[in-house]
Amino acid sequence: MDIELRKIDNNNRAECERLSVSSGQEQYIASNTKSLAAAGKSPGIARPFAVYADGRMVGFAMFAFDENNDDPEDRYWLWRFMIDEREQGKGYGRAALTEIIGYFRKHGADSITLSTKEPNVRALDLYHRFGFPETGQMNDDEIVLKLYL
């Protein structure tokens, strides 16, 4: 399986916006359309990517790289991560998260922070398997996890 992160641009934006999670998962993550709108409000910080598997778009991820943040513990975030409902259960989430962690390392991040809602057990299980411990902090109603690289 060949996983690749490609920047969102005019050529792949509409396809990315058509990706969606299952109806039971919608409570855990904003739509890709909303995420891309939020990215537009944080230029230079938000980094939106489409996740491709063997040349097909299967998911979406958005990172925050805020090297100018005064708090070094709050500079690098995995803001969004989703695999399309039709592509779940095929190993793309695990493979994409490996690629995402590699991206953070390659671009100088010393940690990755993320948050998710406690009932999102599938996501929490994935993050725990990759070594993301819970910090004990909350981001609104979401559990914060942080992986030191």
CATH number of 39's domain: 3.40.630.30
> Considering the domain boundaries, does residue 120 fall inside one?
no
Model confidence over 49-77: pLDDT tens digits?
A: 999 999 999 999 999 999 889 998 889 99
- Evaluate whether residue 104 is within a structural domain: yes
Q: Is 52 known to be catalytic?
A: no
In a domain, 141, yes or no: no
* Inter-residue contact 112 to 101 (CB < 8 Å): yes
pTM over 0.85? The answer is: yes
Q: Which of 28, 76, 127, 148 is catalytic?
A: 127
Domain count, the chain: 1
In a domain, 117, yes or no: no
What tens digit of pLDDT does each residue of 73-98 get?
Answer: 889 999 999 999 999 999 999 999 99
Give the Å distances, CA to CA, from 142 to 29, 69, 117.
11, 21, 4
